Amino acid sequence: MISILRSMWLTFLHVFHKTETVEYPEVKPYLPPRYRGRIILTRDAEKKERCVACYLCAAACPVDCISLQATEDEQGRRYPEFFRINFSRCIFCGFCEEACPTYAIQLIPDFEMAEYDRQNMVYEKKHLLISGEGKYTGYNFYKIAGVEIGVKGKGEGENEEKPVDIKELLP
Amino acid sequence: MSLEVRMVKITIDGKYYEVKPEKNLLESCLSIGIDIPHFCFHPALGSVGACRLCAVKKFRDIDDTKGRIVMSCMEPVTEGLIVSVDDPEAKAFRASVIESLMTNHPHDCPVCDEGGECHLQDMTVMTGHNYRRFDFPKRTYNNQELGPFISHEMNRCIQCYRCVRFYRDYAGGKDLNVYASRNHVYFGRHEDGPLENEYSGNLVEVCPTGVFTDKTLKRHFTRKWDLSNAPSVCVHCSVGCNTIASERYDSLRRIMSRYNGAVNRYFICDRGRFGYEFVNDEKRIETAQISPGKNKKPEPIENEQLLSSLHQLFSRNKKIIGIGSPRASLESNFALMSLVGKESFYHGISKKEYLLTKTVSDFLQNSGVHTPSLKQIEKADAILVLGEDLINTAPMIALALRQAARNEPDKEAKGKGIPLWNDASVRELAQDSRCPIFIATPFNDSLDEISKNIFHASSAEIANLGYAIALELDKKVPGVKTWGKDIQKLAGIIALSLKNAKNPLIISGVSSGVEGIIHSALNISMALLSVGSNVMLSLVLPECNSMGLSFLPGKSFEEAVLAAEDKEIDTLVVLENDLYRRASEESVNELFDRSNHVVVLDHLINKTTQKADILLPAATFAESEGTIVNNEGRAQRFYKAIYSKNQVKESWRWIENFLKISDENNSVSWNRLDDVVDSLVNELPLFSKLKKYMPDADFRMLNSKIPRQTMRYSGRTAMNANITVSEPKLSQDLDSPLSFSMEGQQENPPSSLVPFYWTPGWNSVQAMYNYLDEPDASMKGGDPGVRLIEPSGGSKNIYFNQAKGITEVQKDEWLIVPVYKIFGSDELSSVSSSILQRIQEPFVLMNQKDADMITLNDGDYVQLEILKISLRVKVKIENSFVTGLTGLSVNLPGMPFIDIPGFGKFHKL
């Protein structure tokens, strides 16, 4: 008897509490920047694609929902010919973002991806690629990597010496 | 091996092991299964102790607790050896070696083609180095342009010297070397330009980092873990090297070598590695086509309509003729033979090639002379090459000869107590000493540098040399002495050398097109056999399945033309064969004109397919299972890497359709490859070993098929999602025990069914150690393939009479001999875009004196008139030709069939 009354009293007290209901979709909830939602591909500060098509995201993906094909431009810069994510399979684990060596693939706080047709959950590169740098700014893989693909010459990268002159005879 | 090898007992980390004494410690550990990190050691190249990574601790005796660090690759295994691999000091030493190697390694694994199958990555993980403490700048290098096959990225180099040791010491290349000194050491050419050696592609596998990578793979780059692989066999020459064919997104991505202890082991030639691109070529025939009338453009046709058209062609009481092909599988050729009957089956090769191949094949089956595997060729200690340009017609035999040349110095090293794996010391001791190799060819090639005596002469003279040697060895050999004193003298030297050798080897082939050369080579081997020598005879044939085809009954192409003259043909079936490469244009045209209907099955559009009334897309080696027989008589099976989705089908499947139409009793029902093999074995008992030694399609490991895909195959739920988001059912492979899946037993499948190499910790090609009994030996469970012909005791004394040599040169005429090129003379590989860049335009070779006589210079063009054919060719000076003799390139793209050796005339343009 006492417990029933106690429960009723506690319930009654809730009349004076602040309401927790969010009027979604009119009111959007706050999501922290590190929330793992929709996946995007980003560009570096020079507006060039960051993705170098290394296949690490695809390899890290536990549900195998990323597929891509690497290709190269005239200067040897590697980029994905196509980049496809099947979001109907994606579990938003963020492994792809962790695996990405160039900050190209990022998960953003957007989860509004419902579709009537499952086929529309397949995102191609044109749907994924944004024009900005996303969460991580300032990083350009090719300024550090030793390869020469038009971003910098041999030996002009960060922490690199000038190319060796192999005809030099000094000991 | 009949002799029991005495084993020695060694202690590794407190455990006792028995190992073979002639190996070094590193090799022994790897064969036991103890992983020791290493770079510069390679089983085929031996040890030089350059990289210092394979350090272990060695103890003096059981009381020694301190021990000292030694390089395991330079440590012979001796009785009672006590070592520790896990010793903390040794471990720290190895980790610090990697750390210092990594100070200059660029930060570019994501864009490096080696990533995922990189020996350096494996070794870094194995030693535990994971954090860069070195803050100073990295050394950089400029790269070189190394031609259509290989990309160069010198920044990644770790100075292990494997590349130059392979390229220069093993393969005899000249144009790759090491430059500069100290920490500036540079591996490259003296200037930009294509790597000239025929085996340059192996640098991709030999290099433990990404300095040398496959340029053709770069165009459609895929990581190793994403490739779907199948064990395959190279189809570009008669040696039959084992390869791994890899697929992604329905296209063939690359060819790598697959270990076969008896055949190619670690390496393949560039034609085999880069010739695969024809499979993806835009000239591929992918749909069945039917031509509305004679000489009209063919139109695609659906399967149902096609069947009704075929009904008219293959109904009973029609005269059907089948033309097989030495580049089609045994099963497809046999299917065609079953369709048309033995009397109407033709091999589809010129009469000359047919007769020579038949001679070779009959001799090897009946004479009792042993045909060696490539590994046995490497063990030969006196070698005679008679009229065959091995570098261009059978490149891997040429590579084996280079290794055989070392047998003499190896003996010397053994005598001095130097172990053979101690590569630098053995080479230092050897200097220029080599085992006796005699080469008799019309002109110079790069093997000349390893030979003891070179004999450049016309084919007739070479044949004479052969007869002279045979006569020298055995007086019973029929032969009339028609040769000069110099030949007699040389024959004496060679005969003596061959007689005294333990394992003499005779190499010849049909590429010269001269009966006398083959006959004399057979006579020599027969003569050696009759004096009780352990002689080996290796004969090079023109194509990948020439030997297999010769085991089937059939006739030459010319006889098909004769048969057509006799009575008009209702239906002519041409199987994977461009007849315009086999015979003169008129005779092929005549055959087509005398046939009411022409059905052609092939992979690529060519002149023959343009004559087809019905053109059917035939599967290539990459899309089908089949068996081919190499020049050794070894039957090997290739498995499909690509599941073809269009109308492309195995040729035998198409032919089975025809058979069902023509045979109303339905006596044939071939659902899968094994059914065809069953019929083949019933018909021809010679092939019965195929059933015994090749796993059939029902073979299972732990109740599952063997997966073609790696465990980390990615993109399974996305790769087809652009077409439909529901994942399709897995492609089923009825013909083989391999599946298009990543599920199943991945560890140690039977040796003939190894689709790729991977073991935990070993992602690079070095993972193959775990598939071998020990490095450089045979594969676990025996090497793949089965030899169909074994010498059956007792020689039968088959001798050939001396063939009549080609008559003397006429006035104004030149004797023209064929010159084959590794890039270009093979039909399929010359479609490949990378190889296309290395193909030369049609040329003639002649010596300077002859060129001066008709005032020609190197690089001039001449009009060549030969056998009613007129051809514009470039002149190249090659001074090793004797006067009056010229060489003409064979079968280069754009060249018609020319029946040479023959006589021709030149007009300067």
What digits encode the pLDDT tens for the residues B241-274? 999 999 999 999 999 999 999 998 899 999 999 9
Q: Measured between alpha carbons, how far is residue B99 from residues B48, B84, B123 in Å?
A: 21, 21, 11
- Give yes or no for a contact between B715 and A67, defined as CB atoms under 8 angstroms apart: yes
Confidence check: pLDDT of B778 > 60 = yes
Q: Which residue has the higher pLDDT, A118 or B780?
A: A118
Q: Which residue has the higher pLDDT, B598 or B805?
A: B598
CA distance A9 to chain B (A): 54
Q: Residue B508: which of B551, B458, B472, B466 has the closest Cα?
A: B466
Give me the pLDDT at residue B2, please: 41
Cα(B795)–Cα(B781) distance, integer angstroms? 32
Q: Which two tokens stand for residue B908?
A: 């300067």
Cα(A145)–Cα(B296) distance, integer angstroms? 57
Q: Residue B908: which of B866, B869, B874, B867 has the closest Cα?
A: B874
CB contact, 8 Å: A112 with chain B? Answer: no
Residue B596's CB is within 10 A of a number of other CB atoms, namely 14
Which residue in the block uniquely carries the two structure tokens 């010496």?
A161
Average pLDDT over residues B39-58: 91
| Chain B residues close to A64, C-beta within 8 Å | 713-718
Cα(A100)–Cα(A163) distance, integer angstroms? 29
Yes or no, beta carbons of A56 and B110 under 8 Å apart: yes
Give me the pLDDT at residue B724, please: 93
Which residue in the block uniquely carries the two structure tokens 């060519």?
B606
- Give yes or no for a contact between B904 and B873, defined as CB atoms under 8 angstroms apart: no
pLDDT band at B1 (very low <50, low <70, confident <90, very high): very low
Strand partners, B323: B346, B574
* Dihedral over alpha carbons B249, B252, B255, B258 (to 10 degrees): 70
CA angle A86, A87, A90 (to 5 degrees): 100
Per-residue pLDDT reduced to its tens digit, B613-652: 899 999 999 999 999 999 999 999 999 999 987 889 999 9
- Give yes or no for a contact between B284 and B604, defined as CB atoms under 8 angstroms apart: yes
Give me the pLDDT at residue B453, please: 84
Yes or no, beta carbons of A146 and B106 under 8 Å apart: yes
For the residues of B398-440, what is the DSSP string, one character each? Answer: HHHHHHHTTHHHHHHHHHTT--TTBHHHHHHHHTT----EEEE
Give me the pLDDT at residue B800, please: 82
For residue B595, the SS3 value is strand
CA distance B212 to chain A (A): 14
Give me the pLDDT at residue B447, please: 84
Q: Measured between alpha carbons, how far is residue B687 from residues B105, B153, B165, B240, B342 in Å?
A: 54, 49, 41, 18, 17
Residue B714's CB is within 10 A of a number of other CB atoms, namely 25
Q: Residue B126: which of B19, B223, B29 has the closest Cα?
A: B29
Q: Which two tokens stand for residue B5?
A: 């090898």
Give me the pLDDT at residue A65, please: 95
| Chain B residues close to A63, C-beta within 8 Å | 717
Cα B188–chain centre separation: 26
- Give yes or no for a contact between A106 and A134, defined as CB atoms under 8 angstroms apart: yes
Per-residue pLDDT reduced to its tens digit, B719-758: 999 999 999 888 889 999 999 999 888 888 888 999 999 9
Yes or no, beta carbons of B714 and A59 under 8 Å apart: yes
Kindly provide the residue ranges of all beta strands, DSSP E only, lying in B185-241, ordered along the sequence: 186-188, 212-214, 228-233
Size of interface A-B (CB pairs under 8 A): 142
- Give yes or no for a contact between A113 and A38, defined as CB atoms under 8 angstroms apart: yes
Q: Measured between alpha carbons, how far is residue A34 from residues A39, A106, A107, B37 in Å?
A: 12, 10, 8, 40
Three-class HEC string of B81-123: EEEECCCHHHHHHHHHHHHHHHHHCCCCHHHCCCCCCCHHHHH
A60 φ/ψ angles, rounded to the nearest 5 degrees: -75, -25
Cα(B409)–Cα(B437) distance, integer angstroms? 13
Domains annotated on chain B, with CATH: 8-103 (3.10.20.740), 105-280 (no CATH), 289-349+549-694 (3.40.50.740), 367-541 (3.40.228.10), 814-908 (2.40.40.20)
Cα atoms in the Cβ-side hemisphere of radius 13 Å centred on B585: 7
- Taking a contact as any Cβ pair under 8 Å apart, which residues of chain B between 142 and 201 contact chain A? 142-143, 153, 155-156, 179-182, 184, 186, 188
Yes or no, beta carbons of B139 and A161 under 8 Å apart: yes
What residues in chain A have per-residue pLDDT under 70?
none
Give me the pLDDT at residue B4, please: 60
Confidence check: pLDDT of B332 > 90 = yes
| Chain A residues close to B722, C-beta within 8 Å | 82, 84, 122, 124
Q: Which residue has the higher pLDDT, B661 or B38?
A: B38
DSSP H helical ranges for chain A: 2-13, 56-60, 95-99, 125-128, 141-144
Q: Residue B746: which of B736, B733, B760 has the closest Cα?
A: B760
Cα(B311)–Cα(B294) distance, integer angstroms? 19
Average pLDDT over residues B676-699: 90
CB contact, 8 Å: A151 with chain B? Answer: no
Yes or no, beta carbons of A160 and B108 under 8 Å apart: no
Q: Which of B725, B741, B743 to mutate to test the interface with A (most CBs of A within 10 A)?
A: B725
Q: Measured between alpha carbons, how far is residue A12 from residues A8, B2, B784 in Å?
A: 6, 96, 82
Confidence check: pLDDT of B775 > 80 = no
Give me the pLDDT at residue B118, please: 94
Yes or no, beta carbons of A171 and B181 under 8 Å apart: yes
Whether omega for the bond prior to residue B901 falls within 30 degrees of 0, making it cis, is yes
Yes or no, beta carbons of A67 and B719 under 8 Å apart: yes
Per-residue pLDDT reduced to its tens digit, B124-150: 999 988 888 988 999 999 999 999 999
DSSP state of B732: P
For residue B306, the SS3 value is helix
Q: Which two tokens stand for residue A87?
A: 């979001």
Give me the pLDDT at residue B483, please: 82
DSSP state of B809: P
Per-residue pLDDT reduced to its tens digit, B381-402: 999 999 999 999 999 999 999 9
Domains annotated on chain A, with CATH: 31-137 (3.30.70.3270)
Give me the pLDDT at residue B644, please: 85
- Taking a contact as any Cβ pair under 8 Å apart, which residues of chain B between 90 and 119 contact chain A? 106-111, 115-116
Cα(B368)–Cα(B366) distance, integer angstroms? 6
**CB under 8 Å, gap of 24 or more: what pairs does B313-317 form?**
B313/B570, B313/B571, B313/B597, B313/B599, B313/B614, B313/B658, B314/B339, B314/B571, B314/B658, B314/B661, B314/B662, B315/B661, B315/B662, B316/B662, B316/B664
Q: Which of A69, A75, A103 to mutate to test the interface with B (most CBs of B within 10 A)?
A: A69
CA distance A142 to chain B (A): 8
